[in-house]
Amino acid sequence: MDWQKNVSLRHRNTFGLDSQTRYFAVADSTEELRSHLRRAIEEERKTFILGGGSNVVLPRDFDGVTISLGMRGVKVDSDPDRSRLRVVVQSGENWHSLVRLCMGKGIFGLENLALIPGNVGAAPIQNIGAYGVEVSEFVDFVEAMEVKTGRVVKLTNEECGFGYRDSVFKGELAGSLVVTAVGLSLHTRPRLVPDYPDLRAELERMGVTKPLPADVCEAVIRVRRRKLPDPRFVGNAGSFFKNPIVSDDVLKRLQELHTDVPCFKRASECKLAAAWLIDQCGWKGRRCGPVGVWKHHALVIVNHGRATSDDVLRLAASIKESVVARFGIELSVEPTIV
């Protein structure tokens, strides 16, 4: 298996960060992935697994081998439960293309997750979510390769340890598995979740009173296009910070000082809107050299020019500091910092 030497990853990450990897390999099948991993172990080289490059902050230089996952294929199977269909997708498939394919075939559930950048393999890792729907609701199993042994294992939904934008792949199993395929259990009948205010407003604007799945999908696409920068023109990695989950006590303390703080109840805890916290600190639309905060969305850090990971991380640290100083809340970063 050939490895290319000294390859730029600038066009392989949606942030458009200047980054060079010492070695670059493509895995179009599990066999190829296995042999790249084996060679990396034999040569004692660090590995970095690259999917769609939409949720990573890449270093200026990576002194190891970057393995780009190119495994393609979507298989639709009937399910003994007639209201469901099993869709098994290889990790190199583009996420939004999968959403479109499902819509076209009358397979429902993924409408709210339209236009999320990146590949299918990354979806369970951060348990992608939008507008009140998370991919974990549909994950039947995740197939992954053990880095050390090359063995392919199958994890059930429970074994994936899904949480809010979180899973075992980011936690206890980080670095030890490579997701090769995802098995989804989707609906044959529509089940709409059109409740987020932005979504409702967009459907109204579209003149839709009784939405069909295609309407919800279209509304999500329109809102996202309006609020989020298109990485083809402005480099970014989507939301840079997670919404903090705080206890009722922390919320009470916060509300004594800031009566208007938006919060969403989750069991015994509350979710705060990180974008609101950042916006209150005056960051929205601000520019710091080659990076800045997107003018329409305070959660998104953008690359205005030839930014490096240092520029991004410096800005992120300043944002975090100001949110701590003003609200006493520690934000955590959503993308993977390599």
The only residue of 170, 227, 253, 314 in contact with ligand NAP, by rule CB under 6 A: 227
Q: Which is nearer to ligand NAP, 18 or 134 (CB)?
A: 134
Site for ligand NAP in 51-110 (CB under 6 A): none
Stretch that binds ligand NAP, among 71-79, 211-219, 235-243, 283-291 (CB under 6 A): 235-243
- Cα 47 to Cα 85: distance, rounded to the nearest angstrom: 35
Q: Tell me whether residue 132 or residue 305 sits nearer to ligand NAP (CB atom).
A: 132
Q: Is 183 in the site for ligand NAP (CB under 6 A)?
A: no
Catalytic-labelled residue, pool 136, 167, 239, 309: 239
**Strand blocks (E) in 9-138:** 20-27, 47-50, 56-57, 61-69, 74-78, 84-90, 129-130, 133-134
Catalytic-labelled residue, pool 165, 286, 314, 326: 165
Q: What residue type is 244 in one-letter code?
A: P
CB 194 within 8 A of CB 203: yes
Is 165 annotated as catalytic?
yes
Buried b (16+ CB within 10 A) or exposed e, 65-76: bbbbbbbeebee
Phi, psi of 189 (to 5 degrees): -120, 145
Amino acid found at 218: E
Q: Is residue 239 within the footprint of ligand NAP (CB under 6 A)? A: yes
In the complex, the smallest distance separating the C-beta of residue 41 from ligand NAP, rounded to whole angstroms, is: 32
- For ligand NAP, which residue of 195, 204, 310, 321 counts as binding (CB under 6 A)? 195
* 33 versus 113: smaller Cβ distance to ligand NAP: 113
Residue 125 engages ligand NAP in binding (rule: CB under 6 A) = no
Q: Which is nearer to ligand NAP, 38 or 227 (CB)?
A: 227
207: left (phi over 0), alpha (psi -120 to 50) or beta: left
Query: Please, which residue, 17 or 130, has the CB nearer to ligand NAP?
Result: 130
Instruction: Note whether 23 and 65 are within 8 A (CB).
Output: yes
Q: Does 295 bind ligand NAP (CB under 6 A)?
A: no
Is residue 204 flagged as an active site residue? no
For residue 122, give the DSSP letter: G
Q: Which of 8, 171, 204, 264 binds ligand NAP (CB under 6 A)?
A: 264
CB 140 within 8 A of CB 86: yes
Q: 247 exposed, middle or buried (CB, 10 Å; 0-12, 13-18, 19+)?
A: exposed
**C-beta nearest to ligand NAP: residue:** 238
Active site residues: 165, 239, 334
Which residues form the interface with ligand NAP (CB under 6 A)? 128-132, 195-198, 227-228, 238-239, 243, 264, 271, 273, 275, 299
